[in-house]
Every structure is written in structure tokens, then in C-alpha cells.
């Protein structure tokens, strides 16, 4: 099929899922057209059948806010006509599905251009429930030709919040288990914790620093903080104030998460909300045990006590205790590491999930 994909191209789970999905589909013979305002960070355009179309957003003095949504719609319609697209797949409801709706209308005289919206989390739980975006988010979901969510939790939440009647399909996030896998560790002088996020308040990265502080009372350990965003500065200051700066490295944005994760032992995911928790899945595929919060759809991925731990949001003591347990009990850590890898392989590998998207495209296009 010929598929147009639109996502936020920056660091963030929805853009990563969209990009990995497009590349996997291309490997399976589909022709993929990414349409966005910048080159998606994980996109390798040297792959056959992968194209990237940039959206130019011309500004004028009259525009207090450049109308990206319109420029995107026009580009989608243009790409659809030029490359004869079968379907558009947009990730994150606002504004992408409204642009897709406009593109569908713009091209209606000459083609059928159905569009699928995949909901990822904050597009529903934070942005969508804002009074200024509520009605348009609901409208965009109802207007989509197909809707998917990345977890059952988000599926249920979308119905509850927006009163949507149409079917919504859950297609869980996926990981390439051939790329994300355990790797031999150079002899490390101390165990390593890792946190990966876009450092927004919803991710609670300051809790990671607090957990580290608590763990350091009993065990020498290092924490890698990967990513960037508004809470990075406060997290760095907290590490400095708690005098644990030498144990806490802020690595900024990293491209090769698949190379970095196997060099760590435990992933910290202390989020306030998490529709799925892609970082936990990528970690588990590498045999890195997640210590996460019991929130949203994380429980669909992590089985508490088997392949990771789930503790209440904000309970730094409980999360630190789990980390200490894993660090001090080598056999427990080895067993949970194997179980984490097994879960990723058995339930979330690309070869299981990508065919579900392919079937969904076919059904919607039909």
C-alpha cells in the first residue's frame, strides 16, 4: 500500500512509534510518505520506499500564530494526489487528524483518501480534555475512518471522556527485538539506573533524582538521565542541592537508545500518567528491569513482581526499595531481566504488531 504518515517529528513517544512503524512497513514492501514540519528524529531515509515531505509554514505579519494545521492539510492533499496514496495515518490527534480531515475533503472529487488516527496518551489525557481542545478532539476522533489507541486503558479512557461510540482498536506499541536486545557489558564499576523521557512534568523526572538519593544511602550506583525538556534544569539543580551530582549524569537527547539501554540495569519510569510506556518496553527488550508507577496502561506491559515493579505515583520510598532489592539480590535481578526480555519478545515484537496495522489499513481502505 501507499501510506502517508504524519507525526510530531521531535523526541516523544508518538513520533518514535510513528517513525518506527513507517520504517517497518517499508521493509515489508509498502511505500511510505512521512509528512511533517521536520525530519523525524529516528527516520532513516536511506531505506527503500521511504520518502519525507516537509511542510513549509509561511509566516506573515498578520499571523500571530502560523496556521501549521492548514499548511499540513495542503501538503497532505498534494502528496496524496502526486503519489496516489491509499491511506493517511496520523499520530496524535491535535492537530494532525483535523489536517487529515481537510485533506480528505480537498481531494474528495478525485480520490478516496481515508485517514486513521492513532491516539497516544496526552493528546487525550491532557490536551484533549482542555476546554479549548475538547470539542475539536472529539470531532477529529469521530471523523476519522479508523481510530487506534496504544493501550486498552487509553481506549476505555477515550470512550469515557469523549463519549465516542465508534469502534476503537487497541494496537499496543512494539519494539524491534533484533535491535533492542541485551549486549555484553564492559566491566562496570557500579550498577546503573536509567531514565529516558522528554522531561515534561508528567514524567516526574525529579522523582528519579530523589530515588537515586535514597538508594545512595545504601548502595553505590549511577543514574543516567536521557532526554531533555522543561524539567531537566530543576532535576539538575535538585541533584546538585542533594550533593549527588557526581552520581547523576544528564546525557541530553540520544539517538541510539538501542545501544545505550543494554549498558544499564534498571529503568526508572515514575510517571504521573502513562498511556503505555514505550521507554519501559524498549528497556525490557534489552533485559533492563523497569521500576515504574502503577498508572494508565503500564500494567498492560509490566507484570508487577514478574518482569518489573509497579508502585504508587510519587511513592519515592517504595520505588527506591524496589531498586535496592534488585541491586542487592543478583538472582532476582537476573530472573526479572530474563522475564522482561521474554515479555517483550512474546507480546510486543514488531513481527506480532506490524501485521495488525497492515490489516487495519486494508480494512479501512476497503
Exactly one of 33, 75, 104, 120 binds ligand GMT (CB under 6 A); which one?
A: 120
Q: Does 238 bind ligand GMT (CB under 6 A)?
A: no
- C-alpha dihedral (312, 317, 322, 327), degrees to nearest 10: 150
61-68 LR contacts (CB < 8 Å, sep 24+): 68/37, 68/95
Minimal distance, residue 150 CB to ligand GMT, in Å: 4
Q: Does 12 bind ligand GMT (CB under 6 A)?
A: yes
Inter-axis angle of helices 316-328 and 330-347, to 10 degrees?
Answer: 110
Q: How many CA atoms lie within 13 A of 343 on its CB side?
A: 27
Q: Does 202 bind ligand GMT (CB under 6 A)?
A: yes
Q: Does 96 bind ligand GMT (CB under 6 A)?
A: no
Rounded distance, CA 351 to CA 179, Å? 13
Rounded distance, CA 96 to CA 90, Å? 6
Exactly one of 278, 289, 301, 320 binds ligand GMT (CB under 6 A); which one?
A: 278
Minimal distance, residue 252 CB to ligand GMT, in Å: 17
Rounded distance, CA 23 to CA 32, Å? 8
Pick between residue 14 and residue 113 the one whose CB is nearest to ligand GMT: 14
Exactly one of 97, 158, 198, 293 binds ligand GMT (CB under 6 A); which one?
A: 198
Minimal distance, residue 180 CB to ligand GMT, in Å: 14
**Please, which of residues 307-336 interact with ligand GMT by CB under 6 A?**
none
Pick between residue 201 and residue 245 the one whose CB is nearest to ligand GMT: 201
Place of cell 520510598: 317
Stretch near ligand GMT under the rule CB under 6 A, chosen from 38-46, 206-214, 229-237, 272-280: 272-280
Q: How many CA atoms lie within 13 A of 237 on its CB side?
A: 5
Minimal distance, residue 231 CB to ligand GMT, in Å: 12
Q: Does 275 bind ligand GMT (CB under 6 A)?
A: yes
Minimal distance, residue 278 CB to ligand GMT, in Å: 4
Rounded distance, CA 15 to CA 9, Å? 5
Angle (nearest 5°) at CA 32 between 29 and 38:
150
Q: Does 180 bind ligand GMT (CB under 6 A)?
A: no
Q: Does 341 bind ligand GMT (CB under 6 A)?
A: no
Place of cell 530474563: 338
Contact positions toward ligand GMT, by CB under 6 A?
A: 12-15, 17, 92, 120-122, 150, 173, 198, 202, 273-278
Amino acid at each position: 500500500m501507499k501510506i502517508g504518515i504524519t507525526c510530531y517529528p521531535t523526541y516523544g513517544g508518538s513520533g518514535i512509534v510513528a517513525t518506527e512503524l513507517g520504517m517497518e512497513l517499508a521493509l515489508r514492501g509498502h511505500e511510505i510518505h512521512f509528512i511533517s514540519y521536520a525530519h523525524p528524529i529516528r527516520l532513516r531515509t536511506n531505506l527503500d520506499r521511504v520518502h519525507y515531505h516537509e511542510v513549509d509554514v509561511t509566516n506573515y505579519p498578520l499571523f500571530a500564530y502560523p496556521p501549521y494545521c492548514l499548511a499540513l492539510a495542503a501538503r497532505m492533499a498534494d502528496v496524496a494526489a502526486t503519489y496516489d496514496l491509499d491511506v493517511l495515518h496520523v499520530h496524535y490527534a491535535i492537530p494532525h487528524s483535523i489536517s487529515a480531515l481537510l485533506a480528505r475533503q480537498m481531494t474528495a472529487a478525485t480520490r478516496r483518501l481515508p485517514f486513521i488516527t492513532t491516539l497516544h496518551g496526552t493528546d487525550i489525557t491532557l490536551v484533549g480534555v482542555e476546554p479549548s481542545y475538547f470539542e475539536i478532539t472529539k470531532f477529529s476522533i469521530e471523523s476519522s475512518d479508523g481510530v487506534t489507541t496504544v493501550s486498552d486503558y487509553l481506549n476505555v479512557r477515550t470512550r469515557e471522556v469523549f463519549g465516542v461510540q465508534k469502534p476503537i482498536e487497541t494496537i499496543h506499541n512494539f519494539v524491534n527485538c533484533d535491535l533492542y536486545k541485551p549486549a555484553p557489558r564492559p566491566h562496570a564499576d557500579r550498577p546503573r539506573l536509567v531514565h529516558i523521557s522528554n522531561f515534561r512534568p508528567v514524567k516526574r523526572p525529579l522523582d528519579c533524582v530523589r530515588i537515586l538519593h535514597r538508594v545512595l544511602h545504601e548502595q553505590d550506583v549511577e543514574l543516567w538521565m536521557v532526554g531533555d525538556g522543561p524539567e531537566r534544569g530543576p532535576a539538575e539543580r535538585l541533584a546538585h542541592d542533594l550533593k549527588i551530582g557526581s552520581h547523576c549524569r544528564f546525557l541530553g537527547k540520544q539517538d541510539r537508545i538501542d545501544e545505550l539501554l543494554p549498558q544499564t540495569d534498571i529503568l526508572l519510569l515514575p510517571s504521573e500518567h502513562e498511556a503505555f510506556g514505550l521507554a519501559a518496553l524498549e528497556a525490557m527488550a534489552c533485559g533492563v528491569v523497569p521500576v515504574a508507577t502503577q498508572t494508565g496502561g503500564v500494567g498492560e506491559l509490566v507484570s508487577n513482581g514478574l518482569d518489573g515493579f509497579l508502585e504508587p505515583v510519587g511513592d519515592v520510598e517504595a520505588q527506591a526499595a524496589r531498586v535496592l532489592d534488585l541491586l542487592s539480590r543478583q538472582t532476582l535481578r537476573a530472573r526479572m531481566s530474563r522475564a522482561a526480555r521474554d515479555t517483550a519478545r512474546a507480546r510486543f515484537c514488531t513481527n506480532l504488531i506490524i501485521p495488525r496495522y497492515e490489516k487495519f489499513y486494508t480494512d479501512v481502505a476497503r
